[in-house]
Chain A
């Protein structure tokens, strides 16, 4: 079997260990997971995992500072690409977080705050285990039952201009797109690295995926 290299993109935003450990836990023996901020390694990698955490502004700043914006924009066009949490949100054109942040514009659309009414019993952040309705068939849903629960932590959600991108939806007060996919790109608001067996299955599916 050919060797396969999967790059977890590191742009200095804290802990990537849980993402790389979860991927390693299910990786086939021919697959190596590497955490990197080297554009050459990203270019050479067969697949990309793009995690994210923290606020949109700090995340975009870190991507800028580490010179990761162009390598990520290139990779997203070329090879299997998995965005996670903030790694989904910064792919959009713009986020309302931090009084407005220009994002990577890989997917046309906006990132909005939940904005529940003052007397609403619903909490923000949306934190904990919620269901994902798989609204489209996808290789990454293989062996993950419909409506499975994943672990979420976020206060903002994505709104793509093109609804054809939506592969999964979740309800917290409103029903919002929690998974977007297009060609070789799959990006999820939840944290598969913290979502027990279904999250591990998603990584397994991703590592076996050719992006078609």
Chain B
């Protein structure tokens, strides 16, 4: 009897619609966030993360409405990330029904914002998203740094030190994405995941690179992550969340079935 490791499907949202084409075999409108969220809930998803990629304020209002719709019909934890820059942004998302928000670049530009957010709403709803890339060369000791703008812009900040600092500022959880692996389908950067997970007391969600079910279990057993996040393997009916959980269970990992 223990805490289950979590599986979290991640959805990109633009103007209140799920993009990157989530396709279930028997779903009418694949872009409808309520239908998609419901389907993942039925499959046993432990949480759902929405990444808002919209640019304009008007589209952002649509996202808020979308969160309201999903939260009134799907009763599992919902995290919303993307464009969270102020206490007001957080309040809006929580009031709409999100349980947590993920703060990414705003934490880099102003680390005190993380503390302000935790003081205002509690650590339990503040996730810090870290996008990291390996900067050490072959043969050198491993080193990863934080990148912004989808991995294009370096910051010179050491990823492990950053994670420790975010914990000190009150973050309740870390969503760790390897920018080297994101979209590659070759699996998590397990060394990165382990380096961060072993350095902090707060839970770490591994992200970036899942292409096969075995990758998920490795994130927990070798990466020491508390939760694993994936997008494409679930979106196109390649695997259900339930299949992913059974695969993790086979590896001796405690899951919620």
CB pair B4–A196 under 8 Å, yes or no, is: no
The answer to whether B173 and A127 have CB atoms under 8 Å apart is: yes
B203 on interface, CB distance cutoff 8 Å = yes
Main secondary structure of the interface of B (DSSP, over half): loop
B254 to chain A, nearest CB (A): 9
Interface residues of A, CB < 8 Å — how many? 38
- Asked if B235 is an interface residue, CB under 8 A from chain A, the answer is no
Contacts known (A21-B71, A121-B224, A151-B76); A129 close to B97, Cβ less than 8 A: no
**A53-74 interface bits toward B, Cβ cutoff 8 Å, 1 = contact, 0 = none:** 1110010000000000000000
Q: Check A194/B172 contact, CB under 8 A, given A17-B95, A129-B256.
A: no
**Is A5 interfacial (CB 8 A cutoff)?**
no
On chain A, the residues within 8 Å of B256 by CB distance are 129, 149
- Say yes or no for A128: interface residue by CB 8 A criterion: yes
CA distance A102 to B79 in the complex (A): 32
CB pair A15–B226 under 8 Å, yes or no, is no
* Contact status B203-A199, CB under 8 Å: no
Interface size on B, residues (CB 8 A): 35
A124 to B5, CA, bound (A): 14
Residues of chain B within 8 A of A53, CB atoms compared:
122, 124-125
Which of A's residues lie within 8 Å of B, judged by CB? 14-15, 17-18, 21-22, 25, 53-55, 58, 116, 121, 123-131, 133, 147, 149, 151-155, 171-172, 193-196, 199-200
Give 20 A-B contacts (CB < 8 Å), ordered by A residue.
A15-B94, A15-B98, A17-B97, A18-B71, A54-B121, A121-B224, A125-B172, A125-B202, A125-B203, A127-B226, A128-B227, A129-B4, A129-B46, A149-B256, A152-B3, A153-B124, A153-B172, A155-B123, A194-B77, A199-B75
